[in-house]
Copies of this chain bind each other. A is one copy, B any other.
């Protein structure tokens, strides 16, 4: 098969956890495209495909290489127009950038604090050293100091997804009656927290948790093939 998704894992290659790679897994399934996922550790990324990208996901589709989850989704929409749409038109494509903005600036910073130390624990020695150095430089704090904020973040998290609760009063998915790439953007964030830190962020009766469950069930429960930490 000529379609390869390079993704991210720790010491256990059966547990790929990157939120951005999960977006692409779901996008490929949504399009009904077969692919081989090749998860690798942080420190292997720079040598993938002759140094094509500093980050994963990277998609090889035959002779073509594409990087960045949103750009990959745009590529798939363009290259496979007869498969189910990931955006539902130009308006959906544009507004998906706002959903990405919400995920990157509201969800990711919170989940990072909750999951950082668990992610570190999943990595092989060499990657632990890279991860600790790069993340401590980014935060200006030790991983342990960041993790000390985890409980406060957990308590604050349900309020941060109020915009989803409002939306879910009207429809079961970001995409309306069926999911779109915007769903996979936010799914990726929650799945990242679930796999790395076993985060269960929602009360039993929370519509946001029900939405996440629906996403985990998509494509023969692809999301459940990796169990919670």
Residues of A whose CB lies within 8 Å of any CB of B are 85, 87-102, 104-106, 162-167, 170-171, 173-176, 180, 182
Contacts and interface: CB of A to CB of B under 8 A. Distances in A.
A166 B100 contact: yes
A97 B170 contact: yes
Nearest to A179: B94
| Chain copies in complex | 2
B94 A87 contact: no
A176 B85 CA distance: 18
A96 B163 CA distance: 11
* Majority-rule SS of A interface residues: helix
B97 A94 contact: no
The 4 closest A-B CB pairs, nearest first, are A91-B92, A88-B91, A89-B89, A101-B166
Given A88-B89, A90-B88, A102-B102, A95 B174 contact: yes
A94 B93 contact: no
Contacts of A98: 95, 98-99, 102, 163-164, 167, 174, 182
Given A101-B166, A105-B162, 10 more contacts: A88-B91, A89-B90, A91-B92, A94-B174, A94-B180, A95-B95, A95-B98, A95-B99, A104-B163, A105-B165
